[in-house]
Amino acid sequence: MRRDPRAVVLVLDSVGVGALPDAHLYGDEGANTLANTARAAGGLNMPNLGAMGLGNVTEILGVPRRSRALASWGRNAEASAGKDTTTGHWEMMGLHLTQPFPTYPQGFPVAVMDAFTRETGEGWLGNTPASGTAIIQELGDEHVRTGKPIVYTSADSVFQIAAHEDVISVERLYEMCSIAREAVCVGEHAVGRVIARPFIGPDPAGAYVRTHRRRDFAVAPFEPTVLDRLADRGIVSYGIGKIGEIFAWQGICESPHSEDNMHGFDNLIERVASLTPGFVFANLVDFDMIWGHRNDAEGYARGLEAVDARIPELLDAMIDGDLLIITADHGCDPTMPSTDHSREYTPVIAKVKGVDSGVDLGVRSTFSDVGETVLDFYGLAGACGRGRSFLADVLHAPDTKGAS
């Protein structure tokens, strides 16, 4: 039976590869999530992505450069203003932001919090920029005692609501977040994402612990994206992880929740191995959520190695002609003083199965080159108009058998 090749984009959430020229405007000078993590961990063991040219993208302790790689490699620069998840993913799919989403370094204004109380019927605790893991320790007991949800933000454009699963049900937490998305965080206060942050505990050490039942409620894209262009031509897009939520389900037919990176990778393998036609768009969020924001360089390093170990499974599940692009949406350098995202270049590793060689794709001027390459792969070159396809470079890389 003839099988149609598929494009697969795998986003290693927050795996940046060096500060952008304007990083100083964001307080991110010196950021390099991948290189600094490798250095802090004493080196990385990533033979599979290393063979595909990852060590050519930036200097990575333990991952040497390759004069001949099994895939093409390069770096993406972010053209949009900002350094958050929504901005990065939207730009990949051809939608640029000239103004960043609003942020609230002093907490949300009275009008926003009054609207939250009015629309949800709930009080609140917090309303301050905070680490999500820290604020539930600080306010968890009061939350359990009063039943009031914990509202907080960060340096990113987010309205986050945390609640103990035994105090406010997860379903009710999701309902509150949906209300906040539709009736509170609107107009000038339309944050990029409203995020549900359920937690449990205390554990034997007396700490409250976030669960994997997080859910994101993103603002809807205000222009058609690559996903819409594909849908217009009858090409189905399948999300893995939080992709559906990032695009407010616009142009995505399904996006199963990932409990962690390995569960997300399981879902990715299952989708690709099914040989179902369509575009596969996956996000592995633990790099950002579990390790980056918690300044856990050692955990970040082990997470990178765990994903690298499974790359052969993904390649085995693909058929000849399938396109794989591995990239990221922003940085979140765990070695920096801040716990926030960092404005960085992102890696590009691109391979068409059956082509066992690669070329230097250089520094791309926008994340949208990823989406434009996907459109080109499906015969829709130029349908987005916001990027430049690198498909021809990947397809026609010179043969370099005996890569080293």
83-136 pLDDT, tens per residue? 999 999 999 999 999 999 999 999 999 999 999 999 999 999 999 999 899 999
Architecture per CATH, 110-217? 2-Layer Sandwich (3.30)
* 45-60 average pLDDT score: 99
Q: Which of 55, 54, 17 is nearest to 34 (CA)?
A: 17
Sort strands 150-153 and 125-129 into parallel, antiparallel or unpaired: parallel
Question: What does the pLDDT read at residue 310?
Answer: 99
Confidence category of residue 156, pLDDT binned at 50, 70, 90 = confident
Angle at 263 between CA 76 and CA 174, to 5 degrees: 90
Task: Concatenate the DSSP letters of all residues of 211-230 into one string.
Answer: -S--EEEEPPPSS--HHHHH
Using an 8 Å Cβ cutoff, are 266 and 309 in contact?
Answer: no
Distance CA 52, CA 48 (A): 7
Q: What are phi and psi of 47, to 5 degrees?
A: -65, -30
Residue 2 has pLDDT above 70, yes or no: no
ω into residue 202 within 30 of 0, thus cis?
Answer: yes
Q: Quote the tokens at residue 243.
A: 């992709």
DSSP state of 379: T
Contact 347, 73 (CB under 8 A): yes
Residue 32, amino acid? N
Placement of tokens 């142009």 in the chain: 251
Query: Mind giving me the DSSP string for 289-303?
Result: IIIITTT-HHHHHHH
Query: What average pLDDT does this structure show over 135-150?
Result: 98
DSSP 331: B
Query: Would the pLDDT of 402 be above 60?
Result: no
Domain parsing of the chain, residue ranges: 7-98+219-395, 110-217
**Percentage of the chain modeled with pLDDT above 70:** 98
* CATH architecture designation of domain 7-98+219-395: 3-Layer(aba) Sandwich (3.40)
- Residue among 195, 203, 196, 194 nearest 137 (CA): 203
pLDDT digits (tens, 9 = 90+) for 366-399: 999 999 999 999 999 988 889 999 999 999 988 7
Question: Considering the entire predicted model, what is its pTM?
Answer: 0.90
